[in-house]
Structure 1
Amino acid sequence: MAQKYDRRRYGYTDGSLAYDLDALARERALDDAGRMEQPHREPTPQPKRQPVARPVAKPSPLVLACAVLLTGLVVLLLMGYVRLTQVNTDISEMKSEISQLEERQVALLTQYEKTFDLATVKRVAEEAGMKKPTSGQVEYLELPSSDSAVVYRGDAGTALENIVDSIAAAVSSVVEYFR
């Protein structure tokens, strides 16, 4: 039998190149000879199975509460990111505004210093027609008494108002003493 398969595999021809058409039929007949014939049966129709209706699963309240809590936390997280973005935008705007204001401050300080620069003041005064006073134009005053000033009230009140003011001053000084 191994010889038969070797012939087919390696193209053994027995001297004739004509193909043996009956070889396949003989092989099939030899293979079928050892088998018992089974009567041909029609398959019995299987009854159609109805899908069994499953009861609707109701989630527990704990699962629903956790889902609602998780959804709330996600929304809170997203709102936090939105707020963080707004704050970052505000901070960057404020930083740019601060840098602009610092530049403006430097410009204003420079302008201020130019205004009070002695050379500039002297030049502007000379352009306006001012000149230094001569020694004949300067006078010095010397006062024999110490430096003091007396202020007279122009809206001096009546005697009754003066008494009320002095009592109020006395009461306020007593209250201040005990504090």
Structure 2
Amino acid sequence: MASAARELRYNSRNAVYGDLAYNLDLEVRERALRHAGETPRHQTAAQAAEKPQVRRIAQTRVRQRQHLSLLSVVGFGAVATLAVLVLMSYIQLTALSADMVSLQSQLSQLKTENVSLTAQHEEMFDLDTVKEAAEAAGMSKPSNSQIYYVDLSDGDSAVVYQQEEPGVLSRLLTSLNHGIYAVVEYFD
């Protein structure tokens, strides 16, 4: 039997089995053939590590149901609220930027209109144009006979007349009239 093992080992190193790939299980089979019929020896740590170990759980543990804390619910609510507020602010930002674009286009139109109106304004106050328009309307410069001068060298004077003191009855009627007028104004 030992000669069969030697032949197998000898043939395995030089033999090619169709695809030049190493047969990794061959050494394990050779070792098993060499030690066939012998009593088992003590295992080394390396051999013990080679064998797969199966671990069995005697009892399955069930996780208890977790309770939601109030703080986590409030936290998720706050996060959702902040997300909605951020979206609303983006909406407002978009609307404001659209308004800004329309206002900028309106501003450019107003600037061009301002340039044309300023040119018309300057043309209207051109002295030659004003003189031509006045002569066309029949206006002319005033002559010396049409000019009058006012002398204000005398002092100003004013006359103030004093009124008589109203009686008690007239003051009472006046204050009553003001009171009724205030009440009517309040309810109107």
Normalising by structure 2, we get a TM-score of 0.45
TM-score, structure 1 normalization: 0.47
